[in-house]
Structure 1
Amino acid sequence: MRVVIAPDSFKGTASAVDVAAAVAAGWHDERPDDDLVLVPMADGGEGTMDAFAAAVPATERVPVTVTAPDGRPVETSWLRLPDGRAVVELAATSGIGLLDEPRPDTADTTGFGEAVVAALDAGVTGLLLGIGGSASTDGGVGALRALGLRLTLGEGDEAGGAHAADASTGGALLDSVTAVDRMTLRPLPPLGVTVLSDVTSPLLGPEGAATVFGPQKGVTPDRVAVHEARLAQWAALFPEVDPTTPGAGAAGGAGFGLLAWGARLGSGATAVAEALGLAETVATAHLVVTGEGRYDGQTAAGKTPAVVTALAAAARVPVGLVAGAVEADLDGFAIAASLTVIATQITGEPDDALRDPLRFARIAGARLALRAQSAPICEQPRSKET
């Protein structure tokens, strides 16, 4: 069998590269003669730069020091592509993984904006911005200030630039903003700016940034309405930008902020899949295995398993899923007779996958191989015509 293994990272616990290798090792434990093709994926969150670096020859990681979501300096990088564009990853610059503890009111996207400015200063011709994994619900105000946006605060004082002195940062800053001046914003690069988003949520409402993603960033239930009101006030300052745009609520509203800059929103997983040539690879497989740390109701909104499954469906290739936890309907993931293997099935304890994700990913890979062996999918290599 030819098996394509294309998971996303297990957020906060294991990279996509390591998960793919662990699943492959488990599969080979049971079926050592099968042809395994590892295609680590990403959807705009952590690992996006790694996926592009693996897929595109002659990329260059450019080091940069930026401001972390808690105000500390952090050493990170952006990725220069050989066509002159750059990939900047919010998770690596303003991500929740950079915090020791959540800062729901003051964490911001300043570092992300600083990395974008560094890439622009280096003369890049276009930007691919992965915005998954955010630590903040700041509507992108930190990134926009780094890009030159000037704010007028409640007392009429102007606050310009990423490091201007003011009493608050992040979402809390939005309480004081009464007007914005975009005349000093950095211009877009010649090839424009594409935002790689892993969700399609709007900025506001029951499916929006504060309600759905705020709790992931430390927003307690009694404070969701406060963050919602802040984002609504922020959106009102940009009347030409539609807050219902799918993806505007991504990364705590950073998607909306980037729309206000003039960026366009796209599917992160789709862009990475195109860079990897995944559709062509899938078309030659007997089976595709994908996965993520938590398969839930947000997965269908453009996350890696949904994109990989769509490519497999188009090629009429069955799909298996490896996940640390499953909280949504599993229709569509099948080997022959609706087979799905979940890493946590071994003990029934969801925390086990968090404590030792690669061990359980390997076990899941072995179990997938055993099921495939008992219900063979195809004995001959596939091609694009079969």
Structure 2
Amino acid sequence: MRILIAPDKFAGTMSAAEAADAIAEGWRRARPDDETVTLPLADGGPGFVDVLAHALAGAVRVTVDTCDPLGRPVQADYLRDGETAYIESAAACGLHLLKPEERDPRRTTTYGLGLVVSHAIETGARRIVVGLGGSSTNDAGAGMLTALGFTLLDSTGTALPYGGGVLSACAAIEGHARTRGVAIVAATDVDSPLLGPHGATYMFGPQKGATGSALPFLEMSLSAFAELAERQLGPVGASELPGAGAAGGLGFALFLLGGHRESGARLTCDAVGLDAEIAASDLVITGEGSFDAQSLRGKLAAEVAAGATAHGTPCLVLAGRSDVDAHPDLAGVHSVTDLLGSPEAAMRRPVEGLTSLAEKVAKDRQE
């Protein structure tokens, strides 16, 4: 059999490439005669640029001096392929850039991402693709908008500080976007709107450090800012568009700049030729660290599974943990947590656990 192994990253433990290698190793232990083909993928979050750099022959990495979510100096890479720049939002405002005790979306900003986008524009890019995911922010992209030419003012005419916690004080937005007419694509890992139970704050805020009373406070701040921004910048209704809530509302800001949404997973899958690889395979294995309800809202595993179904090829998910037992596009869902007995054990032994899980699944299919 030809086994196509096409996972996303296992956030916090393994890159997509490391996960693919672990699955392939475990599979070969049980079924050494099978051909295993690894194809690491990304859906717009961390790993987006790495995957595309491997897939796009001739693309060049560019390193930029920028700042992290708390304004500290950091370097970020983006990818230049002709007149297109592929930018990973997490490179400048990712959760991985902060210590656990530093996580506070009332303070974190997307300003550093705006500096990266500005560099790509000023060096001649005519199309900007921003991969959204893995952010530590909940500022509706206000920091990025500031870096690109806007000034957010309070009722006294004073420029606002950065962070999602001050947005309700925004009374006016001055300036204009220094985007030079570039085409902008929001490559999102989710299809969430900006506000509401499935929006930026309530769906993703807790993993960024927002708990208790901080959640309704941030939701109120985003709602107030969205109303003002739509009225002054347009388009009205941008906050309700699918993907507006991605990466703490960065999707919303990109829509304000005239951008449109594309599936980050689909964009990456097209770039690496996933459909052809599926068509040539007998079984597809995908996976991610946590396979849950969010995974079914446009993330990579669901995209791979849908592609496998379209070709009539069975697809398995191997995850660190999972609360999804079944799905019409899946032949099975398996988790390291179930194999090792606890989430703690799965986190302590991620590579070993995933390798052992793949070996067990391969043996079970052989029987």
Shorter-chain TM band: over 0.9
Structure 2 residue aligned with 1:377: none
225, 236, 243: which one aligns with 1:241: 236
Structure 2 residue aligned with 1:89: 88
CA distance in 2 between counterparts of 1:9 and 1:264 reads 25
Q: Secondary structure of 2:243's match?
A: coil
Question: Given that residues 43 and 267 in structure 1 are in contact (C-alpha distance below 8 angstroms), is that contact kept between their aligned partners in structure 2?
Answer: yes
Question: Given that residues 321 and 341 in structure 1 are in contact (C-alpha distance below 8 angstroms), is that contact kept between their aligned partners in structure 2?
Answer: yes
User: Aligned Cα RMSD in Å?
Assistant: 1.4
Question: Given that residues 288 and 318 in structure 2 are in contact (C-alpha distance below 8 angstroms), is that contact kept between their aligned partners in structure 1?
Answer: yes
Question: Given that residues 283 and 315 in structure 1 are in contact (C-alpha distance below 8 angstroms), is that contact kept between their aligned partners in structure 2?
Answer: yes
**1:289 correspondence with 2:285:** yes
Give runs of aligned pairs for residues 113-152 of structure 1, distance below 5 A.
Answer: 113-152=114-153
CA distance in 2 between counterparts of 1:245 and 1:329 reads 29
Structure 2 residue aligned with 1:270: 266
Deviation at 1:209, TM superposition (A): 1.0
- Could you list the runs of 5+ residues in structure 2 that have no partner in the other structure? none
CA distance in 1 between counterparts of 2:261 and 2:364 reads 39
213, 220, 224: which one aligns with 2:211: 220
Question: Given that residues 168 and 222 in structure 2 are in contact (C-alpha distance below 8 angstroms), is that contact kept between their aligned partners in structure 1?
Answer: no
Question: Given that residues 325 and 333 in structure 2 are in contact (C-alpha distance below 8 angstroms), is that contact kept between their aligned partners in structure 1?
Answer: no
Question: Given that residues 241 and 260 in structure 1 are in contact (C-alpha distance below 8 angstroms), is that contact kept between their aligned partners in structure 2?
Answer: no
Structure 1 residue aligned with 2:246: 250
Structure 2 residue aligned with 1:162: none
Deviation at 1:103, TM superposition (A): 1.9
Question: Given that residues 84 and 127 in structure 2 are in contact (C-alpha distance below 8 angstroms), is that contact kept between their aligned partners in structure 1?
Answer: yes
CA distance in 2 between counterparts of 1:39 and 1:169 reads 39
Structure 2 residue aligned with 1:316: 312
Amino acid at match of 2:169: S
CA distance in 1 between counterparts of 2:270 and 2:55 reads 10
CA distance in 2 between counterparts of 1:22 and 1:61 reads 27
Structure 2 residue aligned with 1:110: 111
**1:356 correspondence with 2:352:** no
Question: Given that residues 333 and 340 in structure 1 are in contact (C-alpha distance below 8 angstroms), is that contact kept between their aligned partners in structure 2?
Answer: no
CA distance in 1 between counterparts of 2:92 and 2:6 reads 25
Question: Given that residues 69 and 137 in structure 2 are in contact (C-alpha distance below 8 angstroms), is that contact kept between their aligned partners in structure 1?
Answer: yes
Deviation at 1:184, TM superposition (A): 4.4
Give runs of aligned pairs for residues 151-166 of structure 1, distance below 5 A.
Answer: 151-157=152-158, 159=159, 166=160
Structure 1 residue aligned with 2:366: 373
For structure 1, which segment, 299-308 or 122-131, has the greater mean C-alpha deviation from structure 2 after superposition? 122-131
Amino acid at match of 1:149: F
**1:37 correspondence with 2:37:** yes
CA distance in 1 between counterparts of 2:178 and 2:124 reads 16
Q: Secondary structure of 2:36's match?
A: strand
Q: Secondary structure of 1:65's match?
A: strand
Question: Given that residues 305 and 330 in structure 2 are in contact (C-alpha distance below 8 angstroms), is that contact kept between their aligned partners in structure 1?
Answer: no
Structure 2 residue aligned with 1:19: 19
CA distance in 2 between counterparts of 1:373 and 1:182 reads 64
CA distance in 2 between counterparts of 1:54 and 1:176 reads 44
Give runs of aligned pairs for residues 154-193 of structure 1, distance below 5 A.
Answer: 154-157=155-158, 159=159, 166=160, 168-189=161-182, 192-193=183-184
Amino acid at match of 1:247: G
Query: Identity percentage over the alignment?
Result: 39
CA distance in 2 between counterparts of 1:89 and 1:273 reads 16
Tell me the TM-score normalized by structure 1. 0.90
Deviation at 1:373, TM superposition (A): 1.5
Structure 2 residue aligned with 1:302: 298
Question: Given that residues 322 and 334 in structure 2 are in contact (C-alpha distance below 8 angstroms), is that contact kept between their aligned partners in structure 1?
Answer: no
Amino acid at match of 1:27: W
- Could you list the runs of 5+ residues in structure 1 that have no partner in the other structure? 160-165, 375-386
Structure 2 residue aligned with 1:204: 195
Amino acid at match of 1:93: A
